[in-house]
Structure 1
Amino acid sequence: MASTDRRQRERTAQRDLIVASARALAAQEGWDTVTTRRLATEIEYSQPVIYKHFASLDALVEAVALEGFAELAAALHQARAGAAGAGAVAVVAHAYVDWAVANPSLYDAMFIRATGLHFGAEETPPELTDGYAELRAATTAIAGDRDPDVLAEVLWAALHGLVLLDRGGRLRPAHRRARVEAVAALLAG
């Protein structure tokens, strides 16, 4: 039994190293540089070891994205924990944008690159639903007779759009905070 536990720990450690290396490489050089061949060289494993853990590069990106969703949910939860009412929407909105700006390659894995992850489905992983739950909790406080899910979706879409337009250099950089405040104020009515 002990050797089985040890093998499982080693397998988990290998998987974690592959995911961490993919994240680091993407953060340093972009997702286009992340290949199984490059990862194998970086971590000194053979490509078959990587494929033992991940059926494809897309599956590896999905694992990275799941980590990102968990981290984003934690950041949103922490921000929302000290706020109430309309203030909750603003702090969650700022936390979302700040997190996305600080983690561009991770954000890409979550929202730009193709994955098999599905939102709003029975098989939606908790890492995805937890972040959405934080957006929904923030908008529930201001919903009144409006549907808090619709408000959460609008908030999410607006923030995502702001993040991508800002990253693309299409918005005035000095006005990021004001834009987030405007979105929160519009939702609060």
Structure 2
Amino acid sequence: MSVKERKERERAERHRLIIAAARELAEAEGWDAVTTRRLAERVEYSQPVLYSHFSGKDAIVAAVAVEGCAELAAELRRARTGRRAPKAAIRALADAYLGFARDRPALYEAMFVRPTDIPFGTDETPAELREAFGEFVAVLEPLAADRDLETFAEVVWSALHGLAVLTRADRLRVSHHKARLDVLIDQLA
């Protein structure tokens, strides 16, 4: 292995380490606790080293969000492909999406709540985001009829996002979670 390859591998490992540390700190204490100073301490590198990888906290949060979208896409794909009937597949995808938001609140916040400069719905949208959105498109295709499929998927994603955010903020009756999903799925199917 050449020196250049070793340095590139070490740089990639530092990059992953910074992202992992940001995720861990955010899940433990919230995004306000994530600062370049605290991250530098956690990863045992200087702040200038962090800035050689990321322009600042917003860039770190964006990297976390993109990584999270790859994880979400994989979970949605498993849920969708584990069911044959369209209604069952939608229900499984909805459960997976809401479970992801519930189980990884800081990651979900980085992905879909915090302001970001990540482009959504454009040619510049990262592949990881397109893959996650593609799972919505795939599960809804059998039910789209004459509707624009991507618009339909955006509306369903918006509904699930609203449920995720309102549930996390304790704005919805906990005892009616299943009933809300039943209503949504019945309307879609």
Matches within 5 A, 1:150-169: 150-169=151-170
CA contact (8 A) 1:76 1:131 kept: yes
State how 1:24-39 maps to structure 2 within 5 Å. 24-39=24-39
Cα deviation 1:102-147 (Å, max 9, x = unaligned) = 1100000001112211111110111001011100111111122222
Asked whether 1:177 is paired with 2:178, we answer yes
Q: Is the 8 A contact 1:31 1:105 kept in 2?
A: yes
How far the C-alpha of 1:164 sits from its partner, in A, is 0.6
Distance 1:123 1:14 in 2: 25
Q: Which runs of 5+ in 2 are unaligned?
A: none
- Partners of 2:63 and 2:107 in 1: CA distance: 11
Secondary structure at the residue paired with 1:24?
Answer: helix
Provide the rounded CA distance (Å) in 2 between the counterparts of 1:78 and 1:110.
Answer: 20
Q: Which residue of 2 aligns with 1:60?
A: 60
SS at match of 1:169: coil
> Cα distance, 1:180 vs. partner?
1.9
Aligned residues: 188
Give distance in 1, aligned partners of 2:102 and 2:31.
Answer: 16
Which segments of structure 1 move beyond 6 Å, counting only runs of 4 or more? none
Which residue does the alignment assign to 1:2? 2
Q: Which sits farther off after the overlay, 85-94 or 34-43?
A: 85-94
> In 2, Cα distance between the equivalents of 1:180 and 1:127?
26
Give the equivalent residue in structure 1 for 2:93: 92
2:123 equivalent in structure 1: 122
Letter of the aligned partner of 1:180 in structure 2?
Answer: L
| Structure 2 CA distance for aligned equivalents of residues 106 and 148 of structure 1 | 27
1:20-59 alpha-carbon deviations (Å, 9 max, x no partner): 0000000000000000001111111100000000011100
Cα offset, 1:86, TM superposition: 2.0
Normalised by the length of structure 1, the TM-score is 0.96
**Distance across 2 between alignment mates of 1:52 and 1:176:** 45
How far 1:155 sits from its partner (Å)?
0.7
In angstroms, what is the RMSD of aligned CA positions?
1.1
Whether contact under 8 Å (1:101, 1:163) holds in the other structure is yes
Q: How does 1:72-91 map to 2 (within 5 A)?
A: 72-83=72-83, 84-91=85-92
How much identity, in percent, do the aligned residues show? 51
Q: Which moved more, 1:49-58 or 1:109-118?
A: 109-118
